[in-house]
Chain A
Amino acid sequence: MSLRLTAINICKSYNGKPVLKDCSVSFDSAGIYILMGPNGSGKSTFLRICALLENPDEGKINYFSDIPIIPPLSRGELKRGVFSENNILKRDIELKRRITLLLPRVGVFNTTVFKNAAYGLKIRGMGHDEIEKKVNTVLEFVGLSHKKNHNALTLSSGETQRLGIARAMVIEPEALFLDEPTASVDQENTEIIENIILNMKGKNGSTVIIATHDISQAERLAGRVLIMQDGKIVETSF
């Protein structure tokens, strides 16, 4: 079960300064992709656009799936790409609910670890018992079961990052984007998070795209690599 996506001629500028220049790439099978590049090369912006959190100035993102996108995109939307709307919040929520992006700063809610992890399921209207079962499983997976009743704001930065991963994983996204998932954590937590990502790969066949500037991490995660530089995709290994 995975979503495949194609980015076509994506351009983006902030205050007249180009950040992405004509980026095109096709993620056409499930697995781990590593988006490599130095800081400021445009990785985060590219991920945000792929994850439908931002609009490109030019170009479009097309999503494909074995399971139809419900409700199906209109002919107009297909023609223009899914970025036909000016406002991200108006975009097709059904598609958005099949993907998720873990931001570099997780943004935990001022409530318990359990309720943080349960948020994505709750807004999808899932029943209490099922939420409890799924959240307990995912908290066990990221090693936060013992802290499920703690306020999430009291977690260390490594634990916060693991909670962010749990919160994203629990909704079982078909495309998962991770923006520098280990940038603000220590070596021990980096290893834990990398193991979670590698185990996650085995658990379901989703498309996982990870932005990182750490070459050794890219090697450890052993994914297909794209290299970005100065807002352009300069090399792909697939």
Chain B
Amino acid sequence: MGGDRGEGGKFIMDSITEGFRRAFSLIFTLDIELLKIIFLSLKVSGTALLIATATGLSLGAFVGLKRFPLRGIIISLMNTFMGLPPVVVGLFLYLILSRSGPFGFMGLLYTPSAMVIAQSILAFPIVASLSHSAIVNVDPIIKQASMTLGATPFQVTLNIMREARYGIMSGIIAALGRVMAEVGAILIVGGNIAGYTRVMTTTIALETDKGNFELAIALGIILLLLSLTINMTLHLVQRRGMVKINI
């Protein structure tokens, strides 16, 4: 038994070592399939982030700057939806976009557009909630100071958002981190079709299932590097936002 387990462990280690060797080979030879997958991932996540930033930042700013009925409920919803389970988003989107669903006529299911919608839904509350927090934390004196200098309401809003810029950027970067690593929703609505809707995370899941570790490991390394880059950027943004006060 012990010997079997030892041999099994050795087999897995060999597979992983071989996987790493071939993964680096794929990366350094700029394998075309690998590049296509990376490009689609960046395209889907980038587009989703743009949509989520435009909508989420607008909502975050509106809720942060205006007082209106149901504002508290909207804030609670934004915070709750930050933790939306991706598979649940995928399931609901699948039901809406499937042939018998209300938007089935648009034929979006199993297309990159459906993946963009799914990732936008996941990123939107993160951008909205973190932008809202950043904006409400701006000292109220900034609004008054801008007004005393003759700023129009729109200029006052822009100035408050400029003061909240580091917090807003943190929210956008956090949302990017989430969508880049997401697999559940896009697997359901994208279908993981080779050369069409297959992205890094769904490829890793599929290739691991098939026991083809090299492509999975290559993509895993790239995903980790991207994640590291995103987090380092986030760290730098947050550090820039902290001004050393020497009064």
Residues of A at under 8 Å CB distance from B?
A: 51, 53, 88-90, 93, 96-97, 100-103, 105-111, 119-120, 123-124, 151, 153-157, 167-168, 171
Contacts and interface: CB of A to CB of B under 8 A. Distances in A.
Interface string B137-156: 00101101111111111011
Contact of B243 (A51, A107, A110, A119): A110
Contact of B149 (A100, A105, A154, A157): A100
Contact of A120 (B142, B149, B156, B246): B149
A157 B145 CA distance: 16
A109 B247 CA distance: 16
Q: Is the interface of B mostly helix, strand, loop or mixed?
A: helix
Given A103-B141, A151-B243, A109 B159 contact: yes
Contacts, number: 68
B145 A107 contact: yes
A120 B144 contact: no
Closest 7 CB pairs of A and B: A107-B141, A107-B145, A97-B150, A120-B149, A89-B153, A101-B148, A153-B243
Nearest to B244: A154
B10 interface: no
A107 B150 contact: no
Given A107-B142, A123-B155, A100 B148 contact: yes
A119 B244 CA distance: 22
Contacts of B139: 107
B70 interface: no
Given A103-B144, A103-B145, A109-B162, A156 B150 contact: no
A129 B156 CA distance: 24
Nearest to A111: B162
Contacts of B106: none
A107 B156 CA distance: 13
Interface in B139-180: 139, 141-142, 144-153, 155-156, 159, 162-163
Given A107-B142, A154-B243, A167-B149, 12 more contacts: A51-B148, A89-B147, A89-B153, A96-B147, A103-B141, A103-B145, A109-B163, A119-B146, A123-B151, A154-B245, A157-B247, A168-B148
Contacts of A106: 141, 145
A153 B245 contact: yes
A211 to B, nearest CB: 14
Given A123-B155, A151-B243, A156-B247, A105 B150 contact: no
Interface centre among B152, B163, B241, B247 (most CB of A within 10 A): B247
A116 B243 CA distance: 15
Interface of B: 139, 141-142, 144-153, 155-156, 159, 162-163, 241, 243-247
A109 B142 contact: yes
Contacts of A157: 247
25 contacts: A53-B144, A89-B152, A96-B150, A97-B150, A100-B148, A100-B149, A101-B148, A103-B141, A103-B145, A103-B148, A106-B141, A107-B141, A107-B145, A109-B145, A109-B163, A119-B149, A119-B159, A153-B243, A153-B245, A155-B247, A156-B247, A157-B247, A167-B149, A168-B148, A171-B150
A103 B145 CA distance: 7
B163 A53 contact: no
Contact of A88 (B145, B146, B147, B155): B147
B145 A93 contact: no
Contacts of A88: 147
Contact of B150 (A111, A120, A154, A155): A120
A43 B113 CA distance: 60
Interface centre among B146, B151, B153, B156 (most CB of A within 10 A): B151
A88 to B, nearest CB: 7
B62 to A, nearest CB: 15
B66 to A, nearest CB: 12
B95 to A, nearest CB: 45
A60 to B, nearest CB: 20
Contacts of B149: 100, 119-120, 123, 167-168, 171
Interface centre among B145, B147, B163, B241 (most CB of A within 10 A): B145
A107 B144 contact: yes
B23 to A, nearest CB: 44
Contacts of B150: 93, 96-97, 100, 120, 123-124, 171
Contacts of A109: 142, 145, 159, 162-163
B156 A89 contact: yes
